[in-house]
A and B are shown apart, each in its own frame.
Chain A
């Protein structure tokens, strides 16, 4: 039992010790991309501090690119669908009428179907999807518990000056 407890506590300690790391970046210039993290990681907490007098919007991107927040997409097709009427019509011979001529009876059935189609997209340049965007009042600090699995790293940009502290695990 003692061995078991020791093993348990050991694993617990290792997990806790290995769990958290911290990265801090100072955004000295407004609207400038600044590197916070340069490795893939699991982001668990953000502490954002505005050092501007005005309300500050922090934009954080999953990237290591501090040159541009834009990304160029190649042209690709998209798949979409819309509801549409599906109409089926049958004609049935119902037999001869009084004159001896054959007559038909028509049934029409209409219901809502779905029409799936491909559309051709064009190549485009857009802002990279934001991992997080948070706006805080000027000269304040806000801590946010957040979970994001970063594929590349973390780059921050703010509308004013500020500080970004990231808590993460690898």
Chain B
């Protein structure tokens, strides 16, 4: 066979030559593109369905002040009234008023500025739709996190599993640097330096009793708030926790000792209301704390991260953050009673700001609705090399944006109690 054959070639003797076509001769695409969707656990709202609501009244100041009536305390365990024949004594009772205040907060969410060209020429042309879905998701998670953060720092008592039990706690606004509210220093010196145990049925029983007897917590009553089995949370408390808490119930010593035979923990898992008093609600992205060995200082690791190694098969995947998923030692669950906090329903912005005008300037929104806008300045470089800003008059860029105004007011802060527990992910045959 000749080592090289020039094509076309005339008058060949076929038996003497082998004329295979060059496999790299023709044009071809380097990749075969298929659209795919990264899979992630769907987010569901937990807190917004467990809290009540109160409307905000515009044009009435920047602070909501709730005023409530407190009944007379019960001051006796024994009663000795006067005999009928003598002038009777009387109890003089009166009610009191107490107050709490709340203000509104605002946060914005913005996508990158999208240029028209990728949408015109690239395979994954529609960058906007996934960005919109993503913005929706992040807005929802942020608002849930805001409610939870507020309740964490304002809860007047916490429960620490493993022997410490109920603790009076600072009840004030938290801060990003951990200096106020349930500050890093307070957590290090009072909670995280303790022998913290897992959230077992025994702990939960004690926590429930302390929640009811010492904190004076009250159960949900006649509420329309839905529960996991679509019946109301009537006369029950709610335990809000991460799935690992629920999963661990089948390994609970008390459960293993007392479960009915038809509670098949081997293949069906745990189900039912705990002690008949507590209904469980799952929380996605629950609070987890990583404790420093040196001084017990807490950090709150980001729940998720991105794989950054270009050589890794999962390059750029949004995935659980090891610090959050594995290394954070402490988890926070919640015992929740009824009539606890109220989400402030702010209503729309002032009417004159909400309508769109003829120039296409969108109206103001603050309920998390995502707007698509081309109304912003874009940078350009002048002849001197200086960056100048000019209107997006060509309309070749767009972006998505949303903002949320939110507020929460806790008149009965005692009806929410964080529970600190040691995370555990193993199952064993040992009882402990």
Known: A73-B188, A78-B190. A65 touches B92 (CB 8 A): no
Inter-subunit contact B427/A15 (CB<8 Å): yes
- The verdict on A99 contacting chain B, using a C-beta distance below 8 Å, is no
Shortest C-beta distance, A150 to chain B (Å), equals 9
CA–CA, A88 and B329, complex, Å: 49
Inter-subunit contact B293/A149 (CB<8 Å): no
Residue numbers in A under 8 Å from B94 (CB-CB): 88
- The verdict on A147 contacting chain B, using a C-beta distance below 8 Å, is yes
Residue numbers in A under 8 Å from B52 (CB-CB): none
Inter-subunit contact B170/A79 (CB<8 Å): yes
CA–CA, A30 and B328, complex, Å: 34
Inter-subunit contact B162/A169 (CB<8 Å): no
Inter-subunit contact B92/A107 (CB<8 Å): yes
- The verdict on A128 contacting chain B, using a C-beta distance below 8 Å, is yes
Inter-subunit contact A77/B428 (CB<8 Å): no
Shortest C-beta distance, B186 to chain A (Å), equals 4
- The verdict on A95 contacting chain B, using a C-beta distance below 8 Å, is no
CA–CA, A151 and B330, complex, Å: 8
Inter-subunit contact A16/B429 (CB<8 Å): yes
Partner of A73, one of B92, B185, B430: B185
- The verdict on B198 contacting chain A, using a C-beta distance below 8 Å, is yes
Residue numbers in A under 8 Å from B427 (CB-CB): 15
Inter-subunit contact B430/A151 (CB<8 Å): no
Inter-subunit contact B189/A73 (CB<8 Å): yes
Inter-subunit contact A73/B168 (CB<8 Å): no
Residue numbers in A under 8 Å from B424 (CB-CB): 42, 149
Inter-subunit contact A71/B195 (CB<8 Å): no
How many A-B Cβ pairs are below 8 Å? 98
CA–CA, A79 and B157, complex, Å: 10
CA–CA, A73 and B293, complex, Å: 12
Known: A42-B424, A79-B170, A169-B428. A149 touches B196 (CB 8 A): yes
Residue numbers in A under 8 Å from B428 (CB-CB): 15-16, 18-19, 169
Inter-subunit contact A18/B194 (CB<8 Å): no
- The verdict on B169 contacting chain A, using a C-beta distance below 8 Å, is yes
Inter-subunit contact B92/A109 (CB<8 Å): yes
CA–CA, A12 and B195, complex, Å: 29
The A-contacting residues of B in range 261-294, CB under 8 angstroms, are 266, 291, 293-294
CA–CA, A44 and B294, complex, Å: 24
Q: Which residue, of B266, B296, B427, B429, has the highest number of chain A Cβ atoms within 10 A?
A: B296
Known: A65-B293, A107-B92, A131-B195. A169 touches B426 (CB 8 A): yes
Shortest C-beta distance, B188 to chain A (Å), equals 6
CA–CA, A87 and B94, complex, Å: 13
- The verdict on B197 contacting chain A, using a C-beta distance below 8 Å, is yes
Inter-subunit contact B185/A149 (CB<8 Å): no
- The verdict on A47 contacting chain B, using a C-beta distance below 8 Å, is no
Shortest C-beta distance, A73 to chain B (Å), equals 5
- The verdict on A137 contacting chain B, using a C-beta distance below 8 Å, is no
Shortest C-beta distance, A86 to chain B (Å), equals 9
Residue numbers in B under 8 Å from A64 (CB-CB): 293
Residue of B nearest to A71 (CB): B295
The B-contacting residues of A in range 8-28, CB under 8 angstroms, are 8, 11-12, 15-16, 18-19
Residue numbers in B under 8 Å from A153 (CB-CB): 293
Inter-subunit contact A147/B293 (CB<8 Å): no
The B-contacting residues of A in range 93-123, CB under 8 angstroms, are 107, 109, 111, 116, 118, 121
- The verdict on B184 contacting chain A, using a C-beta distance below 8 Å, is yes
- The verdict on B183 contacting chain A, using a C-beta distance below 8 Å, is yes
Inter-subunit contact A151/B186 (CB<8 Å): no
Residue numbers in B under 8 Å from A128 (CB-CB): 193
Residue numbers in A under 8 Å from B183 (CB-CB): 76-77
CA–CA, A23 and B430, complex, Å: 19
- The verdict on A142 contacting chain B, using a C-beta distance below 8 Å, is no
Residue numbers in B under 8 Å from A107 (CB-CB): 92
Q: Which residue, of B73, B189, B329, has the highest number of chain A Cβ atoms within 10 A?
A: B189
Residue of B nearest to A151 (CB): B329
CA–CA, A76 and B266, complex, Å: 46
Residue numbers in A under 8 Å from B294 (CB-CB): 65, 71
Residue numbers in B under 8 Å from A15 (CB-CB): 427-429
Known: A77-B170, A131-B195. A42 touches B92 (CB 8 A): no
Inter-subunit contact A149/B162 (CB<8 Å): yes
Residue numbers in A under 8 Å from B432 (CB-CB): 42, 44, 147
15 A-B pairs in the complex with CB atoms less than 8 angstroms apart: A8-B266, A15-B428, A16-B429, A42-B424, A63-B293, A73-B188, A74-B185, A74-B188, A76-B190, A77-B186, A109-B92, A149-B162, A149-B198, A151-B422, A169-B426
Contact residues of A with B, CB < 8 Å? 8, 11-12, 15-16, 18-19, 40, 42, 44, 62-65, 71-81, 88, 90, 107, 109, 111, 116, 118, 121, 128-129, 131, 147-149, 151-153, 169-170
Question: A76-B185, A77-B183 are known contacts; what are 13 more A-B pairs with Cβ within 8 Å?
Answer: A15-B428, A19-B426, A42-B424, A42-B432, A73-B188, A73-B295, A76-B188, A76-B189, A90-B92, A116-B168, A118-B170, A131-B195, A149-B422
List of 6 A-B pairs having minimum Cβ-Cβ separation, nearest first = A76-B185, A74-B185, A149-B422, A79-B168, A76-B186, A151-B329
